Amino acid sequence: MIFSPRLRWALTALLAASKTARTESLADIDHVILFMQENRAFDHYFGTMPGVRGFADPNVQYNNGIPVWKQQVTPQQSKDTDYITPWYINYLGGTWPEATQCMSAGSNGWDANQAAWNHGANNQWAVKNTPYSIGYYKRDDLPVHFALAEEWTVGDMYQESVIASTNPNRVMWISGSINVPGSPQTKDEGGYPYIDNNETPGCDKNGINCYPLKWSTAAEKYEAAGVSWSVFQDADNFDDNPYAWFEQFQDSKKGSNLNNKGMKGQSLDAFYAQAAAGTLPEVSYIVGPMQLSEHPPYSPHDGSWLQRKVAEAVINSPKYSKSVLIVSYDETGGWADHVSPYTSPDGTAGEWIDDPYGAAGRTATGPGFRVPFYIISPFTRKGGVYTEHCDHTSQVSFIEKWQAAKGRDVTTDEMVPWRRENMADLVNAFDFKNPDYSIPNLPEAPQPHTNSKGVYDGSSYCSSQYGNGRPPTPTARATH
């Protein structure tokens, strides 16, 4: 007998509910899967989503009577206006919905994003980054992303940890620090601070971004406490595995747990197989392939195919009733967000620095701009919008809280105290007294394009068809 996908998922959910005792606490969770994608901002993806702090925000920031919706432009950028507002990337219709899948906005680096933030004014996205930075997609462009976020729980105050690029943010994700002066680490442990993607041994000319990193990571705490864990990645992981940037993992012996679980890791196929068998480790890190990472110019559609595949592996697992899948993005990738970051007061140890590159002056290293974030679990099903302030360190804190409920101490001493005190541990996003094991019928995701050798090449194919995918900017169109 052949069942439709909808009926099959309903039967799976019914069986899971009938076989599983009511779960009412953190301690009953057995598996946490951490899946981080690349370089997208919250407004850029979810600004049009009902119920979130998006383009309908009633508390939008004003600077000298001007709302942050009105981003300054230069005469060189437009001769007709002095501002541009958030604009729908596919406003021209036609083939643009396909073309903009491989477009880029601006820079994801420290300088451009600190300049866009402008010490909290948050009004320099078009001038210091690009007018494309404030472009956004809608539900029809991102059906899988919207479904995953809305069918479970979406967070609308989840921030990147650092107002900077990929590496610093992923390091915060697995250690809670980038070793800003005043952090628990010493200068000799690397970084000091780590605010760029440097992977060349030694420090840069400013005496910062010292590499490799040497302080203790979350996985080492798990290892010491007997908590099973593993990185899941394929050979093409886009150099997105942050454990590989730490000296203790680089120097780990072949066959050791740090090497097998952290450096080498297991394949994505192994993740799917273990999810199906109910044998995933307690903590899993998903590091996707480059072309599926959603890092511009890599397509959101291709990323949605991977997200759907990972989500289905979890929700169709016999252990779904005891599982949590957390999906996040490392940083904004040069895309704008209208909510100015919630940061610590100037002078907070391990948080503020004098800009080593000179342009920003005295500034906060983070937390930074909002990025897409959602939690998939029976305890977050149809949970609505989670609004607490959080960032990548919140995922570290959540696992600490979860393991403490199981009687294990995996608390890291590496996290800056201000983060631990002010970034939520995510527990309030869960409703353990009213789990919902039903499974929605997710939208289909298009199969990523591959070349004749079966290698993902979506960005190359897209650019061959549409060029850089950038439509004309509709200067001063109040499309939000």
CB 129 within 8 A of CB 360: no
Please compute the mean of the pLDDT values over residues 107-133 and round it to a whole number: 96
Taking residue 204's Cβ as centre, other Cβ atoms within 10 Å add up to 14
Q: Encode pLDDT of 203-219 as tens digits.
A: 999 999 999 999 999 99
Rounded percentage of the chain residues whose pLDDT exceeds 70: 94
* The one-letter amino acid at 68: V
What pLDDT is stored for residue 122 in this prediction?
A: 98
182 — alpha (psi -120 to 50), left (phi > 0) or beta?
left
458 — alpha (psi -120 to 50), left (phi > 0) or beta?
alpha
Residue 391 has pLDDT above 70, yes or no: yes
How would DSSP label each residue in 181-246? TTSSS-GGGSBSS--S---SSB--TTS-SBBSB-S--HHHHHHHHT--EEEEE-S--TT--GGGGB
What pLDDT is stored for residue 81 in this prediction?
A: 85
| DSSP-assigned letter for residue 296 | T
Please compute the mean of the pLDDT values over residues 324-331 and round it to a whole number: 99
As a dihedral over the C-alpha atoms of residue 406, residue 407, residue 409, residue 415, rounded to 10 degrees, the angle is 50
Output the average pLDDT for the chain.
94
CATH topology of domain 25-72+137-428: Alkaline Phosphatase, subunit A (3.40.720)
Say which residue the tokens 């950038």 belong to.
Answer: 470
Q: What is d(CA 47, CA 369) in angstroms, rounded to the nearest whole number?
A: 13
As a dihedral over the C-alpha atoms of residue 250, residue 252, residue 253, residue 257, rounded to 10 degrees, the angle is -120
CB 41 within 8 A of CB 370: yes
Cβ contacts of residue 104 below 8 Å, gap of 6+?
A: 132, 296, 297, 333, 334, 468, 470
Strands 83-84 and 87-88: unpaired
Q: What is the pTM of this model?
A: 0.94
The helix (H) or strand (E) run that includes residue 374 is: strand 373-376
Of 78, 69, 27, 103, which Cα lies nearest the Cα of 468? 103
Of 344, 365, 331, which Cα lies nearest the Cα of 209? 365
Q: What is d(CA 68, CA 51) in angstroms, rounded to the nearest whole number?
A: 20
What pLDDT is stored for residue 426 in this prediction?
A: 99
What pLDDT is stored for residue 474 in this prediction?
A: 83
Please compute the mean of the pLDDT values over residues 413-424 and round it to a whole number: 98
Say which residue the tokens 């298009």 belong to.
Answer: 446
Domain limits of the chain? 25-72+137-428
- Please state the length of the chain: 480
What pLDDT is stored for residue 24 in this prediction?
A: 79
Q: Encode pLDDT of 278-327 as tens digits.
A: 999 999 999 999 999 999 999 999 999 999 999 999 999 999 999 999 99
What pLDDT is stored for residue 22 in this prediction?
A: 56
- State the helix-helix crossing angle for 300-315 and 268-277, rounded to 10 degrees: 30
The CA–CA distances, whole Å, from 119 to 5, 41, 107, 244, 364 equal 50, 19, 18, 33, 8
What pLDDT is stored for residue 283 in this prediction?
A: 99
| DSSP-assigned letter for residue 96 | H
Degrees (nearest 5) of the Cα angle 464, 308, 44? 60
